[in-house]
Chain A
Amino acid sequence: MLSLRSDPKLFELAQRVEYFAREKFNMTLPEMRFFILDPMEFAALLEKNVYPTSPINIWEGKSIANKKHRIESGQESALYYEVVQTGNPSYAYLNETNSALTQASVMAHVAGHCEFSELNVLHDSDMDRTEYVMHLVRKVDLGRQQMGERRYIDYWNACESALPFIAPNSQYNLENSIDKETTIATSTMESTEAPKTQKPPVSLVDETLNALLKPGPAKPFVEMEKKRERHEALSRRGYSLRAPCQDILGFLRQYAPTSQAEHAILDYLYTAHMHQDFVVRTQIMNEGWAMYWEKKIMMELFAEDAVRGAIDYAKVFSGVCYPRPYYQRNPYHLGYHMWLHIEELYREGKMSLDYHEETDLDTKQEWEKPEEKVDPQASMRHLVKSITDYEFLRRFLTVELVERFHLNRLDQRTAQQLGIKNEDIIKADRRWVWLRPEPIKNEMLGFFAHFYRPRIYIIDTDYLDGGLLLMHRDDGRNLRADWIRPTLNNLNRIWKAPVYLLSQNKLYATRADGYKESTVKGITFEEAAERLSRQQQPFKI
């Protein structure tokens, strides 16, 4: 791994890229540090979630062995386009085998990602992220020595089962699901102060008579009991659940009983993987934003002759930005063209109230009334600051754009394999099939509800006295049956108490006396959420 300063030409190029990004385009950037890696270092970096170090583990070993074999046998090129770990500072890595032109485009692309992470509403740019993860790696290494090899491997492998259940940006994340002593204290203070203003003047006689003659709906004893139970739970465990919690690994990291070494493993795995949630929720906007600024900066570099090979760059660019059908959407292509479209909307004044209120279609079609005070790029930045992919698509992806970006186009063979019905096809030629574009937007938005993964939530942390009850939010699909038991066993190893899973009308349990499956009367996710909000036990046998 070499510092960029070891290559004076590249270093100069990086400075030019930064100059255009910061000075010419006013991009909001953290400090960016570039390093040069050889291809095998690159492969290793990717297996370490784009951090330079990672604790020893079998899964990384398996992936790298497989990758090496694929590279050696020519099945994989080992040429990666861009790899960056955002944060402040951001660490970006260049492949030593790339040409100067490619390095320049990678650096410009990285600038786009860094700004996006810095500005976006989910703000994926924390201070010293890479350094912190490296610190956690050292803690895990120390923990490994404390635990001994066998226990370390077992615990790590158990944690791997919980890795897909990281959701720091979910509606049901830790912050929105868990009451801690501090949060409950605040809410109690607010709730006790609010009714005071509505209280009628005290009249002892009236109060006594009313209480005797007109018993109201309120049952102070029951309410007090509930409050007492809640406070008891808080004082015993330090938290209580007020809504289903989708950030399962986050919860275990905070509240599972662990030794220091075990906590170090949970801490590392959560911290190193939590940013994937940001990536998956913003990938289209993020990659599109990076491509948008990459091209702008590259044009400046070509103009001042800092790099040469505009034709080669055009080829590479179109190679990256090629269309794919909606279910395999290419975020580079879709994001880039969406941003271009939005820029055009702002430039032509089509985001104005006048445009939306215009009823004449012909006028709308020929609309070009730029608003004087609106700077398209500033407006685009405002979008970055306020929305993620779901809203981006919901607001801007139209039926016309679905067709223009070929999101509804499949090749004939795939269409046959997928068993597409004739009534869904609007056009076909020898090579392609075009689907009806109308349902595609909703299909694409559906992805952001489940990300093609089952939705699992914690709905009770004290089920049958100390058990962790998970719930699979039913969407008509079954879970892989032979993996339920080992997964629950692994979660049991972390929680150190019984773990239950409620999926449809089945209750799976891993307890000290073994594994059991039983048929129960299932509940819906909404019922569970509502009961939790009312401080009731969400599920009883």
Chain B
Amino acid sequence: MDVDRISSDESEGFFNDFIDEQLNDLVEDIINDGDLDRTDASGSDLIVEVDDIEPPTLVYGDQGGGGAGQGGGKPGDEKGKLKFEVPFERFMELVANKLQLPNLLKEGQGKIKEVSYHFKTFGPVGVLLDKKRTFKRALRSSISTGVYCPAEGRFDVEVRRKDRRYKVPQRVETPKFKAVVFYMGDISYSTFGERLELEKRLLNFTHHWLDFNYGKNNVEHRFFVHDIEAYEVTPEQFYQVSNIGGTRASLVFDLVSNIAFNEYDPATTNFYGFYVGDGELFGNDAKEIVEIIKEQLHPMFNRLALVEIQPSRMSCLNAEVSKAFGSDRVVRTCALKSKGEIIKTIKRMFEERHA
């Protein structure tokens, strides 16, 4: 028999390709309906369920269904369902492919370098002697010259100058990426219920998306909420917060602007700002926000997106901001009317230019 190894790898690959296609189709549903908010910042795997596949045939009415399989992740086993653990990274790749979002790593690449020195090579001159390598060379040459010959009772090892090996520092330049993201959420009474849920879902996805693009350790996420006051909260608090009081949004923009200016170096940092709220502002609040953006945030920020969640007739923030910024490169305004529009909103938040 001319078979070296019995294997089902080809068929398994075939099946995995099929599952990948399925996952691709499911990305939208997962973002809209999935429990993405349960995926913590450590990027744990997502559990994805799809209907099981089975060749149809003529069976009795009470038969059929059942089984499990494996795609990009590991399969589970539940009757009638294929259950997968999709690694977070893989999921984000699929999202990127599906949504065709810009690769945010480009920002700052090649301009700012982080320089470090690694002792990875060795040479005959230098400061730091590598004793192990030096001894090895000395032993080798001592054997060849006969200085070291245990059979004849000679155990000397002669270290000559040319045997010496030094650690040589090598200059390593790595592009320095640093990003700080300011999430601003409106938690006033008017954002009660579904609006607040949508806010959190949208920002949660944004949070993961930026982590994925910059690398988890290169992004700092800072969360702010406001009602009639603005204050910073921890991520845990942000995702658990419930509605508090009235609305004054310009305070949170002001706070963010102060922190960005005072705590970070604008030359080496990518700034992102995302504001989500119902846009129902009163008095001069919206105009003050426009002023803050124009004078303080716009020059520094790579992207500033303002999303009105389920806007009403009283929502005026986006109208005011759009008047001032139109098709600006940095500022984006969008409206999220329902859960089904999350994808559209995300695309708009991150798109390179105004459509």
Residues of A participating in the B interface, judged by any CB pair closer than 8 Å: 1, 33, 35, 37, 40-41, 43-45, 47-48, 52-54, 56-66, 68-70, 72, 75, 91, 130-131, 134, 157, 160-165, 453-454, 456, 472, 477-481, 483-484, 486-487, 490, 501
Contact = CB atoms under 8 A, between A and B. Distances in A.
A65 B82 CA distance: 11
B75 interface: yes
Given A45-B6, A65-B70, A164-B57, A480 B64 contact: yes
B33 to A, nearest CB: 24
B77 A52 contact: no
A66 B6 contact: no
Contacts of A134: 1, 3
B69 interface: yes
Contacts of B189: none
B115 interface: no
Contacts of A64: 8, 11-12
Contacts of A58: 11, 14-15, 18, 53
Contacts of B144: none
Contacts of A65: 12, 15-16, 69-70, 75
A60 B62 CA distance: 24
Nearest to A56: B10
A476 to B, nearest CB: 10
Contacts, number: 138
Contacts of B14: 56-58, 61
Nearest to B3: A52
A483 B6 CA distance: 34
B59 A454 contact: yes
A480 B13 contact: no
B60 interface: yes
Given A60-B11, A61-B11, A62-B69, A477 B3 contact: no
Interface string B66-100: 01111000111100000000000000000000000
A45 B61 CA distance: 32
A412 to B, nearest CB: 24
B67 A66 contact: yes
Contacts of B6: 1, 37, 41, 44-45, 48, 52-53
Given A48-B6, A165-B57, A501-B58, 10 more contacts: A40-B7, A43-B8, A52-B6, A53-B3, A61-B18, A70-B77, A160-B57, A161-B57, A454-B58, A483-B56
A479 B7 contact: no
B333 to A, nearest CB: 44
A59 B55 contact: yes
A37 B77 CA distance: 27
A67 to B, nearest CB: 9
A41 B14 CA distance: 18
B54 to A, nearest CB: 9
A163 B3 contact: no
Contacts of B60: 453-454, 477-480
16 contacts: A1-B4, A40-B7, A43-B8, A44-B7, A47-B8, A58-B11, A58-B14, A62-B69, A72-B74, A161-B56, A478-B60, A478-B61, A480-B58, A483-B56, A483-B64, A487-B58
A69 B74 contact: yes
A315 to B, nearest CB: 30
Nearest to B5: A1
B121 interface: no
Interface string B30-70: 00000000000000000000000101111111111001111
Contacts of A57: 11, 14
Nearest to A41: B6
Q: Which among A40, A59, A65 has the greatest number of chain B C-beta atoms within 10 A? A: A65
Nearest to A37: B6
A164 B57 CA distance: 8
